[in-house]
Each structure stands twice: as structure tokens, then as C-alpha cells.
């Protein structure tokens, strides 16, 4: 990242609280394709690019004070979005169909202390995506090897501390695993609903779903009162009456479960990709609708980009706040073009508008 961009980002981050509004969910097509969607919210453009990392890339963990931790070489090639110019994937896939996404977990994330005994297997929290995508093919493999690493509180200078994160991992079978660093240990949950947002902890969100067990995609029938007085519905959607529509993590979690669980089955991965993008529209935060005052500054969260990953066909799609056109990165084509070097694909672009004024029939 150019020095001027880094300085500007550092200044903006110093003024802004951390983003807390990311959402991820999945659906499965009839052809078995698992398709995952995710939104990235922040108070400014995080300058993400698509990072293309070939197999055989050496990686090193970052520890507090500039020390180095775990060292490994990637077994698998991977692609996905980075942020703030860091060489780490915060949302992406590898060539075995494994998916990893980092989401903010403020007020709850607690990392381990670095010790002489654990330093050689320690890394910064934001580096776990590279390690997972670079080494494993399935959720079961990930679960079996989590004791091999330690996540420590390596600070990001621009953020004023270590980013509080938790993580979701998916594979081609449709299994989802949530990893949360709590009190220095990694708490692991199976994710039966395929959804993750932000704080509180994942088990709390599953319990909170009990408050919404009456929600249904079916419209509520008219209600008969007395002998001849009927109360019909005002319109469509009465079965989902009470579905929370705000941008808080608990409300987004409930909404993500409701929409992903009631999505009509589609036949192919290509159809599922479009369906997930439509569902993710429900989590898009327009610039200005979420604000927080911090001193004299106003922090405004918005959806910087939205991604969709096709784990069957190894494709990662995205759109940005400034360009709603869907763009595709085919993992195998990108790796072939990158050769043996880590390369980057720009995500930022301007919206093109097609003039259909004379496309008459």
C-alpha cells in the first residue's frame, strides 16, 4: 500500500470506532453447491483488494513488539479480500473449497499472552485466515488442528490495539464452524444455521432465536372475531411480522437465519450466487443510516463491499459500495495468472450505467 494511503487510513481509523456490522450466511443449491455470502461494514473505504496467494507461499506470524511467531508454507492456493493493505485474507476461499471469514467481535474477543512456550505457534488474530486457507481442505481438518496455534493480541497501530475478531469456516459439504477467542482460548462451535454476525458470543445468538420461533414464510390467515367481524391481513409478509429490521448484530443474526432458511431451493450454483446476493441486500447499510458520535467526530458505518463465494466451483464474487455490478474472480484462473507470486486484483471501481433508452422492441 502506498505510504500516503496508509497515512490517510491511519488518520481515519484514529477518528473512528471499529466497525461492528458484518453478516455472513449460506444456502445450498440442488446440485450440492454451497454458496456463502458476506457483507463488510466500516466507517470508511477499507481499500480492500482481492489477494491471490499461490501454494508454496511462506508465511510468518506477527507477535506484539514486532517479534515473529509461527512459520509455515501454504499447501493450497487461495484468493479473497484483504483490508487496509495488510497481506491477509479476511474473506476468501482456497482450491479445496474451504471458506474463511473474519468478523468483528468487540467486547468479547480475548487473546492469549505470548510465552516462550507458545511463541513458535502464535500469530496475530487477523492472520488466521491465511493459516486456515493455506493448510486445510475441510472443517473437520480445521477442528483437528486448532490446538496447533495460539492467537495473540498483536496490535494494529492504526486501530490503536488488536482487532477483536471471531471467525467462520465452511467447506464444500456445507459444514460450518465458528471459532471465538474467549479468555485466551479458542472456543469452537458447530454452526447448524450457517449464520454469523458480531457480538455477543455465538451460543447467545442461538439461544436468542427462541424469541422468534413463531416466524414463518406463510402469511397469517384472517382472524374471525365474533359472528361476522373478520380481520384480514394488511398485505403480504404477515408470517414474518416481528422480524427485527435494525442493524444490530442480534437483529441481523435473526434476519439472516429467517431469510436463508426460507429461501426457495434453486437448481444450480449460478442461481444460488444470484439468490445469495439478493438475500444480502437485506443487510446493506446505506451511508448515513448508522451513526455514532465520538468526541467531535461522527462515525458512519456503511456496507463497503459484499462478497459471495461458490465453494463448488471455486469462484469468489464481489460488488462494492461505489460499483454494484457483480464481478467474478475464478480461483484457478487467478492462480494461473499469478504464477508463483502473491498478486492483487483491484476491487475499487466506478459504477457504469447502461443507457437503455433506445433498446426498443
Spell out the domain ranges in the chain. 3-346
Full-model pTM = 0.92
- Mean pLDDT along residues 218-241: 91
Q: Where are the beta strands (DSSP E) in the chain?
A: 23-28, 34-42, 49-53, 58-62, 68-73, 78-81, 91-94, 99-104, 122-124, 150-152, 165-170, 176-182, 185-190, 223-225, 229-231, 290-294, 297-310, 315-320, 323-330, 343-346
pLDDT of the residue at 295: 87
Which residues carry out catalysis?
22
pLDDT of the residue at 156: 87
Window from 100-104, 124-128, 223-227, 352-356 with minimum mean pLDDT: 223-227
Cross-strand bridge partners of residue 305: 40, 320
What percent of the chain is predicted at pLDDT more than 90?
86
Question: Residue for cell digits 483490508?
Answer: 83
pLDDT digit string (tens) for 277-332? 999 999 999 999 998 888 888 888 999 999 999 999 999 999 999 999 999 999 99
Residue from 122, 43, 53, 44 nearest 82 by CA: 53
Per-residue pLDDT for 3 more than 50? no
Tell me the average pLDDT of the chain.
93
Contact yes or no for 39/253 (Cβ under 8 A): no
Contact yes or no for 189/177 (Cβ under 8 A): yes
pLDDT digit string (tens) for 329-348? 999 999 999 999 999 999 99
| Domain at 3-346: CATH code | 3.60.60.10
Amino acid at each position: 500500500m502506498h505510504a500516503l494511503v496508509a497515512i490517510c487510513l491511519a488518520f481515519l481509523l484514529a477518528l473512528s470506532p471499529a466497525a461492528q456490522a458484518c453478516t455472513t450466511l449460506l444456502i445450498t443449491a440442488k446440485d450440492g453447491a454451497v454458496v456463502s455470502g458476506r457483507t463488510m461494514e466500516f466507517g470508511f473505504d477499507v481499500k480492500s483488494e482481492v489477494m491471490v496467494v499461490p501454494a508454496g507461499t511462506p508465511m510468518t506470524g506477527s507477535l506484539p513488539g514486532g517479534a515473529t511467531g509461527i512459520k509455515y508454507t501454504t499447501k493450497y492456493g487461495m484468493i479473497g479480500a484483504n483490508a487496509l493493505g495488510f497481506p491477509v485474507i479476511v474473506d476468501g476461499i482456497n482450491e479445496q473449497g474451504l471458506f474463511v471469514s473474519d468478523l468483528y467481535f468487540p467486547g468479547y474477543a480475548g487473546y492469549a499472552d505470548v510465552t516462550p512456550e507458545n511463541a513458535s505457534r502464535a500469530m496475530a488474530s487477523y492472520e488466521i485466515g491465511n493459516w486456515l486457507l493455506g493448510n486445510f481442505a475441510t472443517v473437520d481438518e480445521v477442528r483437528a488442528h486448532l490446538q496447533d496455534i495460539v492467537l495473540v493480541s498483536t496490535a494494529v497501530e492504526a486501530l490503536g490495539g488488536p482487532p477483536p475478531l471471531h471467525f467462520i469456516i465452511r467447506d464444500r459439504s456445507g459444514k460450518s464452524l465458528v471459532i471465538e477467542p474467549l479468555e485466551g482460548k479458542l472456543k469452537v462451535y458447530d454452526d447448524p444455521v450457517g449464520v454469523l454476525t458480531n457480538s455477543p458470543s455465538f451460543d447467545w445468538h442461538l439461544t436468542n432465536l427462541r424469541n422468534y420461533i413463531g416466524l414463518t414464510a406463510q402469511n397469517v390467515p384472517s382472524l374471525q372475531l365474533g359472528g361476522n367481524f373478520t380481520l384480514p391481513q394488511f398485505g403480504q409478509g404477515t408470517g414474518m411480522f416481528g422480524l427485527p429490521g435494525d442493524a444490530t448484530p442480534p437483529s441481523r443474526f435473526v434476519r439472516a437465519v429467517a431469510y436463508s432458511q426460507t429461501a426457495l431451493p434453486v437448481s444450480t450454483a449460478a442461481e444460488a450466487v444470484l439468490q445469495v446476493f439478493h438475500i444480502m441486500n437485506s443487510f446493506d447499510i446505506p451511508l448515513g443510516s448508522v451513526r455514532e458520535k465520538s468526541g467531535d467526530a461522527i462515525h458512519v458505518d456503511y456496507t463497503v463491499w459484499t462478497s459471495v463465494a461458490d465453494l463448488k466451483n471455486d469462484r469468489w464474487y464481489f460488488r462494492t459500495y461505489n460499483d454494484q455490478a457483480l464481478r467474478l474472480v475464478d480461483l484457478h484462473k487467478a492462480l494461473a495468472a499469478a504464477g508463483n507470486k502473491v498478486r492483487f486484483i483491484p476491487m475499487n471501481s466506478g459504477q457504469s450505467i447502461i443507457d437503455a433508452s433506445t433498446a426498443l422492441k
